[in-house]
């Protein structure tokens, strides 16, 4: 039978008609149940809100014309999946102000997309037809909740005083900066500072992530930016607009195609809106980014972002203030030495320091203690720095190799000057995801000499040198040490010209130039690393008995503090600056055999 005969057969046509009828009935019932569910949920809300929601569901074409992506048909049946909120209204809303309703923000959301708020006071729309405008949840944050950022707080306190009393500044001709850019490494308090400024100033605060403006539909990101700024300028009062992760839309324009035009449109609209603010409007733009070097020069020029505040990692005083701030909210033992903890956590961000205190609280609760002791705090520092303890069993041979590797690092750090000592040395395995060597620690100084940098290189390569001197060959334990040592040596050659190669100094991000520079600098880098390893081997050879004593003690004890390392090696305690007698901590036979291996 031919295909045409099968298609025209009455039985086949009847089957197709029945299937079409069932699908049509299912579609009708689905739409009917959707409308019925929406009407049921809207029964307890103002009629204007329910009518508006129904209108949007039945008028997808009208919504698309104003640049809003039509909501999924099944979305009203799933109230637990809200649409993302693009703009957030004031944290400190004036008394009697509504959350949406008939205000300008509500109309804006209905006409332009998910930027306005719809609903009565205290109402959350269950149908998720509109993106409900929300505030920053949680307790009010002020400058008292921020520690270790005194310079940045002083800069923002001036802005807070201007917003509170603008006439005092205007009488002297002072104008409010149009924009302030907060930049720095992640976890150092940029977003926390913005929240604290909003809490101190008591003015409307609009919070939005720049990634919310990134869309694949041309024109949608620009429309959302227009809506955000129109909402901020709608009131005749000062306000703060905080755009987090500004580099998501402020990256340098390349002028290419392949989907980049939408990013350019969004950035151009942001530039236009920033120029549209008058200094007397009282609207302040706060931006935050971890990568300021990626921002378009037109965005960060004066007149748009007039002031740049760099949020750096805290120094010793800042770390101490942060630790005490978070510890003051918890029952802490008086035996905890926060000065010592602050000296051990060089290079950590404010978020990591807060995590140390929280990890200590969790450990104390796990052990059913009423107070957090120094033991929990020290374990928390080790967890944040190196990860949680691993349950993997280490064979005896591997354990001894790790002990000699770590003893090489530790002994060189005790013998060399201008090297920051670690709080402790341990061979306990930890499930760390960090790719940074545990011996690649710095200090709070920003100016280092070549002698001090060479000492750091010698310590970094001390573990490998100890392995070669003791066992005759290196191991994979030195991977992170070699990586950090190579990076440091390359900086010494290319960036700081410490080998006399001035033609290699200076930064150039061009890939071709960078590759040529690296090819010319590799011999000098290799020479520095070779010199550092030879120096490490020579020092360890001259102190073979001390190396064996520290390593064998690590095999048995697994963890040594700085004072214990100095006592085992027969060296002055770096903290007490005193000399103790060298104890006989290992059996003479073991010490003699190990020394023979080193010299042999």
Q: Edge-to-edge strand order for the sheet containing 283-289?
A: 205-209, 239-244, 283-289, 179-184, 307-311
Alpha carbons 143 and 431: distance in angstroms, whole number: 36
**Active site residue: 200, 376, 378, 406, which one?**
406
Alpha carbons 300 and 406: distance in angstroms, whole number: 47
- Could you identify the residue written with the tokens 């940098």? 453
CA max distance for the chain: 107
Token pair for residue 88? 């957030």
> Is 406 an active-site residue?
yes
Do residues 119 and 132 touch, judged by C-beta distance below 8 A? yes
Alpha carbons 440 and 447: distance in angstroms, whole number: 17
Do residues 448 and 467 touch, judged by C-beta distance below 8 A? no
How many separate helices (H) and strands (E) can be counted in the chain?
23, 7
Alpha carbons 50 and 131: distance in angstroms, whole number: 15
CA dihedral for 109, 111, 112, 114, sign (positive or negative)? positive
Alpha carbons 430 and 350: distance in angstroms, whole number: 23
Q: How many angstroms separate the first and last alpha carbons of the chain?
A: 93
Question: In the 3-class helix/strand/coil scheme, how is 376-398 assigned residue by residue?
Answer: HHHHHHHHHHHCCECCCCCCHHH
Alpha carbons 207 and 60: distance in angstroms, whole number: 29
Do residues 496 and 464 touch, judged by C-beta distance below 8 A? no
Alpha carbons 264 and 271: distance in angstroms, whole number: 10
Phi, psi of 547 (to 5 degrees): -60, -45
Do residues 240 and 156 touch, judged by C-beta distance below 8 A? no
Do residues 319 and 158 touch, judged by C-beta distance below 8 A? no
Query: Considering only CA atoms, which of 182, 226, 55 is closest in space to residue 127?
Result: 55
Residues labelled catalytic: 406
């Amino acid at each position: 039978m031919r295909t045409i005969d099968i298609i025209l057969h009455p039985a086949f046509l009847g089957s197709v008609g029945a299937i079409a009828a069932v699908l049509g009935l299912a579609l009708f019932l689905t739409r009917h149940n959707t409308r019925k569910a929406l009407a049921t949920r809207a029964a307890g809300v103002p009629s204007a809100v329910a009518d508006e929601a129904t209108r949007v569901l039945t008028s997808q074409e009208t919504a698309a014309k104003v640049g809003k992506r039509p909501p999924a048909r099944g979305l009203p049946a799933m109230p637990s999946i809200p649409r993302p909120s693009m703009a957030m209204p004031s944290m400190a809303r004036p008394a009697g102000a509504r959350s949406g309703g008939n205000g300008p923000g509500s109309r804006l959301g209905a006409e332009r997309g998910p930027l306005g708020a719809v609903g009565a006071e205290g109402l959350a729309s269950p149908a998720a037809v509109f993106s409900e405008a929300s505030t920053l949840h949680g307790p009010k944050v002020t400058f008292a909740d921020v520690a270790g950022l005194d310079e940045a707080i002083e800069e923002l306190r001036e802005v807070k005083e201007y917003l509170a009393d603008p006439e005092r500044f205007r009488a002297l001709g002072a104008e409010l900066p149009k924009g302030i850019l907060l930049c720095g490494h992640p976890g150092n308090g940029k977003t926390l500072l913005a929240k604290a400024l909003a809490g101190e100033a008591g003015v409307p605060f609009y919070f939005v992530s720049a990634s919310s403006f990134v869309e694949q539909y041309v024109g949608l990101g620009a429309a959302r930016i227009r809506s955000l700024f129109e909402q901020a300028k709608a009131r005749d009062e000062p306000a703060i607009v905080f755009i987090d992760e500004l580099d998501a839309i402020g990256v340098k324009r390349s002028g290419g195609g392949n989907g980049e035009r939408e990013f350019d449109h969004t950035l151009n609209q942001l530039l236009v809106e920033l120029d549209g603010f008058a200094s007397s409007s009282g609207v302040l733009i706060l931006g935050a980014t971890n990568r300021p070097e990626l921002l378009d020069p037109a965005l960060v020029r004066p007149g748009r972002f007039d002031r740049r505040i760099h949020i750096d990692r805290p120094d010793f005083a800042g770390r101490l203030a942060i630790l005490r701030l978070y510890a003051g909210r918890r029952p802490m033992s008086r035996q905890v030495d926060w000065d010592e903890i602050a000296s051990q956590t060089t290079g950590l961000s404010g978020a990591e320091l807060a995590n140390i205190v929280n990890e200590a609280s969790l450990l104390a609760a796990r052990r059913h203690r009423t107070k957090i002791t120094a033991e929990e705090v020290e374990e928390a520092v080790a967890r944040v720095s190196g990860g949680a303890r691993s349950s993997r069993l280490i064979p005896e041979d591997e354990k001894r190799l790790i002990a000699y590797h770590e003893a090489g690092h530790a002994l060189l750090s005790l013998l060399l000057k201008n090297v920051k000592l670690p709080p402790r040395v341990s061979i306990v395995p930890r499930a760390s995801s960090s790719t940074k060597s545990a011996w690649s620690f710095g200090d709070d100084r920003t100016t280092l000499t070549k002698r001090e940098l060479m000492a750091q290189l010698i310590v970094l390569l001390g573990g490998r040198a100890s392995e070669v001197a003791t066992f005759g060959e290196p191991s994979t334990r030195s991977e992170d040490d070699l990586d950090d040592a190579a990076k440091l040596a390359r900086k010494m050659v290319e960036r700081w010209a410490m080998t006399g190669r001035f033609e290699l100094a200076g930064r150039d991000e061009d890939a071709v130039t960078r590759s040529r520079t690296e090819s010319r600098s590799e011999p000098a880098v290799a020479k520095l690393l070779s010199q550092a390893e030879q120096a490490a081997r020579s020092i360890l050879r001259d102190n073979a008995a001390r190396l064996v004593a520290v390593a064998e003690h690590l095999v048995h004890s697994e963890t040594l503090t700085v004072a214990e390392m100095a006592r085992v090696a027969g060296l002055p305690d770096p903290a007490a600056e005193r000399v103790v007698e060298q104890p006989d901590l290992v059996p003479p036979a073991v010490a003699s055999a190990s020394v023979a291996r080193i010299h042999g």
